[in-house]
Amino acid sequence: MDRAKKAEFVAELQETFGGIESVIVTQNMGLTAAQVSELRVKMRKEGVDFKVSKNRLVLRALKGTRFEGIGPMLKGPVGLATSKDPVAAAKIAANFAKDNEKLVIIGGGLGEKVLDTAAVVALSKLPSLDQLRGQIAGLLKAPARQIATIAQAPAAQLARVTSAYAQKG
């Protein structure tokens, strides 16, 4: 890769780091090309990008970004999973690592916070952004449903009383 392409790649990575919420650093020694492809497909489905690149270039791209703290994790062959959803990258990487011991989670970053392996695994167990939105929508609908039920109760009672009088008479 010539100098111009390296500069372009670093600028592209810096832009990526500016528009994401989380980055997960993985070590993938021994994964086959098919396994890496499978991982990329799973990540793409969830809006996660997975890149393997030279650590030196990634370190340059990290300078001045809020993910600069993950720099010491970049040793050996690493892959970076980046996502706008704070949980998606961690969830997919952790699930894939369960089935493939050759993919090892080194750590990551969530905003300006540097995460170790245990924190990434804990993050992976949280519900995704879409799941949280669904739960919030369910919570917002519940009070309206309860109000409708309460509002109907007096009319239903009146109908039962009227029906009882009609059957008596």
Beta strands in the chain (DSSP E): 22-27, 48-52, 78-83, 104-110, 113-116
Quick one: average pLDDT of 58-62? 91
Residues 81-91 pLDDT 10s: 999 988 889 99
Measuring CA to CA, how many Å separate 8 from each of 1, 48, 53? 11, 21, 13
Reported pTM: 0.74
Mean pLDDT confidence for 96-107: 90
User: What counts of helices (H) and strands (E) characterise the chain?
Assistant: 6, 5
For residue 41, the model assigns a pLDDT of: 93
149: confidence class by pLDDT, cuts 50, 70, 90: low
The pLDDT tens digits of the residues spanning 12-32 come to 988 888 889 999 999 988 888
- Domain residue ranges in the chain: 3-126, 128-169
Nearest to 126 by CA among 91, 74, 163, 166: 91
As given in the structure block, the two tokens for residue 33 are 């090309």
- Distance of alpha carbon 160 from alpha carbon 105, whole angstroms: 64
**The token pair that represents 35 in the structure block:** 């396994």
**Superfamily covering domain 3-126:** Ribosomal protein L10, N-terminal RNA-binding domain (3.30.70.1730)
Amino acid (one-letter) located at 148: A
Q: Is the dihedral of CA 3, 8, 12, 15 positive or negative?
A: positive
